[in-house]
Amino acid sequence: MALNILIVDDSRITRTSIQHIISMVDLEIGQILEAENGQEALKVLTEADVDLVLADLNMPKMGGAEMIRHMKSSEATKSIPVVVVSTESRTTRIKNLLAEGVKEYLHKPFTPEEFRQIIQTLWNKQTPELGDLLTKAMAEALETMAFLTVIPMEDDLPVPEKTIVAEIGFSGAKSGKIQIIAGLDFCKILAENIGALEKADKQAACDALKEFSNVTCGLFLPMVVSSTADMFDITVPKIKSCSNSSQWEEFVADCSSDTLNIEGHAIATRLILKD
Amino acid sequence: MKAKDFSGIRNNGPLPNPQEMEMPEDFSDLLDDYVESTNSSLDELEQVTLAYEAANDREGNAVTIRRIIHKIKGESAMVGIDEMSDFCHQAEFAFEELTEDKRPDMLLRFKDWTCTALHNLAERI
């Protein structure tokens, strides 16, 4: 989808600089529209299809904050994401704007990479409904097969609170490797799934994981791997075919905070790409 | 390199030499436009400052003054003249900290320093 972007800034130099930065990002850009202040921007928004607004705050006639309030009060414009681009250093003001519906904030000057990350964040946030996602996931699942491998463990090493316990290697439409960082609860679930244990205590979990360490266990995980440049999203839908499928959902309960949390079923924390 | 100290604008203290302002590393095509735009902003700043000093619509003129300094700060940052952006940042602080009667002198000092720096910059483009 080509993005139509509206740049709102009273400085022509800044508008030109932002255009230049946008042109350096590997994105499909449609129209770049410009406005010198909030009033002009609102007029442009009634005349053109705009996907994203990049707005300064301090402008004559109508500043960015007032423009955003107008946008949020109109059915036609309230869903258009606004990114504030400013040298504003008052964090309270930025927080207030974010609370009022501003999606992101870019500090001037910003780099093409920062802009790209904002775009990626915004469009990831606008992920389709769960049903749509699962439909898409199942459609693409056939193209991506994943195998789970338990990392070798030292004999005398008990299952620690947080460690890398397994990897999921996947291949198909995308290929790569995810490392799973988890604690004891996750290990118990893993052991129950792999070892067909009814209920694993800590020792049983340790024993099972050691037994299966460094073995490709062949658990089939339909997943969708979507990528933009160096960032990946991993989507793991519910696995109906797994005998203990409900337990997979529990994985999320024991994930570390930097987990790629997709659809609440996330189990990956770090992705290592294959060449 | 140690960042230059522009805090003198807040207490009538010493300022760095305006003729030694760092050029942007990435020599921007926009520098000519930047100099022209900033000079225009400084002319406007001078007029508004004089009106402010004469106590004409102080509230409205204060808004305009803040906007002008903020605009110069933003444009300086976008073309990579970080020192000017820092200077504007300190001037913004100064404007909020100083009493109404002391603001005009600070603003005119800001304007003179910036004019000299720009003149020097224009000669090096």
B1 belongs to a structural domain: no
Instruction: Decide which of A249 and B54 is more confident.
Output: B54
- As a whole-number percent, the residues of chain B with pLDDT over 70 amount to 95
Question: Is the minimum CB–CB distance between B30 and chain A shorter than 8 Å?
Answer: yes
Per the structure, the count of domains in chain B is: 1
Is B21 part of any domain?
no
Judging contacts by C-beta atoms under 8 Å, the chain B residues touching residue A109 are: 77-78, 80
Average pLDDT over chain A, rounded to an integer: 66
> Is residue A242 scored above 60 in pLDDT?
no
Instruction: Specify the CATH number for the domain of residue B76.
Output: 1.20.120.160
Predicted local distance difference test score (pLDDT) of residue A120 = 81
Full 3-state SS string of chain A: CCEEEEEECCCHHHHHHHHHHHHCCCCCEEEEEEECCHHHHHHHHHHCCCCEEEECCCCCCCCHHHHHHHHHCCCCCCCCCEEEEECCCCHHHHHHHHHCCCCEEEECCCCHHHHHHHHHHHHHHCCCCHHHHHHHHHHHHCCEEEEEEECCCCCCCCCCCCEEEEEEEEEECCCEEEEEEECHHHHHHHHHHHHCCCCCCHHHHHHHHHHHECCECCCCCCCEEEEECCEEEEECCCCCCCCCHHHHHHHHHHCCCCCCCCCCCCCCCEEEECC
Q: Which residue has the higher pLDDT, A85 or B26?
A: A85
Is the ipTM reported for this complex over the cut 0.95?
no
Which among B78, B88, B92 is the top mutation candidate for probing chain A, defined by the most A β-carbons within 10 Å of its own β-carbon?
B78
The whole domain housing B108 covers 29-124
Q: What domains, with CATH codes, occur in chain A?
A: 3-125 (3.40.50.2300), 130-273 (no CATH)
What does the pLDDT read at residue B15?
94
B92 to chain A, minimum CA–CA distance in Å? 11
- The pLDDT-based confidence of A143 (bands split at 50, 70, 90) is very low
Among B71, B73, B88, B96, the strongest candidate for a mutation testing the A interface, having the largest count of A CBs within 10 A, is: B71
Q: Would you say residue B91 lies in a domain?
A: yes
Residue type, A234: I
Per-residue model confidence (pLDDT) at position A274: 30
Mean pLDDT of A119-131: 64
**Per-residue pLDDT at A228:** 36
pLDDT tens figures, B33-60? 899 999 999 999 999 999 999 988 899 9
Q: Is residue B18 part of a domain?
A: no
Please indicate whether residue A14 or residue A148 has the higher confidence score (pLDDT).
Answer: A14
Per-residue pLDDT, A181: 52
